[in-house]
Structure 1
């Protein structure tokens, strides 16, 4: 008779069932900010999955492997495994939200979003929270420019609200006195799409999700599902902004990634006829998604003067 699965084992099984709304293969489209976000979150999820698999091997009488020079002698190895899995889940949620915040900060440096950032900076006495910044940016990007009368929503707002739930959950992990949560209206948006969420995300139970949020006890399935939603959301946001409209957009990216300094160094140290090729090689290495926009909007001085 086989031994019953511990919590880490059952959690890993549940995660394997999660199927996002849309699954997109890796490609070279999108911003450098998206590439950075996916690298951080992808690595984080891979680490979480590895931890879950490793913890699933711990049984009631599990002993520390010989040669592992650490202090590990819990009274109950299964309880220790459950606590370790919870810590790993918390860490993955925190890393994902931090990566999302970095994405939002980077994207909003674009000149076309200057009005939004100016408005954020003007709010007194309290600046907008990370959840508010994300929500307002998503709405700006996803609501049609010329919506029908009284239309203030968009089809995937339920997903945006779930991402905000992840942000609030992160805050509860990091700040023990945090009472951040979805508004009544945001929760209603999520619940209105209960069937869609259940079908798209391996039977995710919203009542259990909100209950576990209230008691700060995320399951592996809940955490990885919210992370999957966040990845989808950032991909969708990036589709709305990744195209550089002009040289000002390109320059904003160069300044953010401190690549303008590298370009200046190349221009100072290279012969004029070799500068363009050297700059493009540098961009290919450090910001490959920015390279085609640089080629399009930043002219080659040698050609421009001919």
Structure 2
């Protein structure tokens, strides 16, 4: 049976961090609006704290800025998490030079994005440009990595594609966006929402590119070995854990082993159904058949990474 993987585990981690972000930001802003209009003037008793601002309206405005700034940081962190998870086993990023460049970037998400741009230069220009702007804006506001401004080529992309930018990002105004970046003013809600949208678009496209370029057998070996290794119990050696887990799947009667392997792969995110036209990684029927015919000993030999 042919199996499909259309969304990687790193992308799911990204969505866990940034999913429904706009809705949650709006929820917080609605609450702050209630404070500004005097609808809310006391702290709920279950918070068990004191809230007595000298000027509630000013406090609400400052809180709005804090929320938007934190949302900007969260979006950048989510991209960083995606890239960090993509190099961990089972490795979504298999290209040695790409992995090396990401490692050389250290903690700098700016340099990590330069590595992404280097190895995938044909990613959507506008989302990439917005993400670079987002990172640089955050760095300027926080006075970190201040020498790393958004590359001029991406500022020009946003300026030269103002109409497309507005169409794709809910009327986002390129001139106001770039002007705000130059002035290092606080980001607006529309800008934050657009930046988050761009982060989603960038990760979605990069994820598809990485999935479709996988050496699928190597990736599947990583998947199997990582899963077997993650099952270790207290006071159990790692080799014992792998053997026990392998026996629980590949030790079944040959008539049941195929279904057990398919269930195992389903737990790892592989599906029998391809949804829509979305592309991704494909495990051929021949490969799933081969995997289903392995025994506990042979699957451990097959999946064991080179020393």
Q: Answer yes or no: same fold by TM over 0.5.
A: yes
The residue aligned with 1:219 is: 188
The residue aligned with 1:146 is: none
Q: 1:254 to 1:191 in 2, by over 3 A?
A: farther
Q: 1:216 to 1:250 in 2, by over 3 A?
A: farther
Structure 2 distance, partners of 1:66, 1:162, is: 39
Structure 2 distance, partners of 1:288, 1:205, is: 39
- The superposition leaves residues 115-162 of structure 1 with CA deviations (integer Å, 9 ceiling, x where unpaired) of 2223455x5xx758322322432453353xxxxxxxxxx6x3132011
- The superposition leaves residues 178-205 of structure 1 with CA deviations (integer Å, 9 ceiling, x where unpaired) of 3432122321122111121123223222
The residue aligned with 1:242 is: 211
Structure 2 distance, partners of 1:128, 1:74, is: 38
Provide the aligned length of Structure 1 versus Structure 2.
262
TM-score in terms of structure 2 length: 0.71
Q: 1:278 to 1:167 in 2, by over 3 A?
A: farther
User: Structure 1 residue 100: deviation in Å?
Assistant: 0.6
Structure 2: segments with no counterpart, 5+ residues: 232-241, 273-280, 296-307
Q: 1:43 to 1:209 in 2, by over 3 A?
A: same
Q: How does 1:53-68 map to 2 (within 5 A)?
A: 53-61=30-38, 62-65=40-43, 67-68=45-46
Q: Please say if residues 14 and 82 of structure 2, whose CA atoms lie closer than 8 Å, have aligned partners that are also in contact.
A: yes
Q: Please say if residues 138 and 237 of structure 1, whose CA atoms lie closer than 8 Å, have aligned partners that are also in contact.
A: no
The answer to whether structure 1 residue 134 and structure 2 residue 116 are counterparts is no
Structure 1: segments with no counterpart, 5+ residues: 1-27, 144-153
The residue aligned with 1:170 is: 138
The residue aligned with 2:302 is: none
Q: Please say if residues 266 and 278 of structure 1, whose CA atoms lie closer than 8 Å, have aligned partners that are also in contact.
A: no
- The superposition leaves residues 210-265 of structure 1 with CA deviations (integer Å, 9 ceiling, x where unpaired) of 2323324111111111110111111111221223432112334566xx42414724
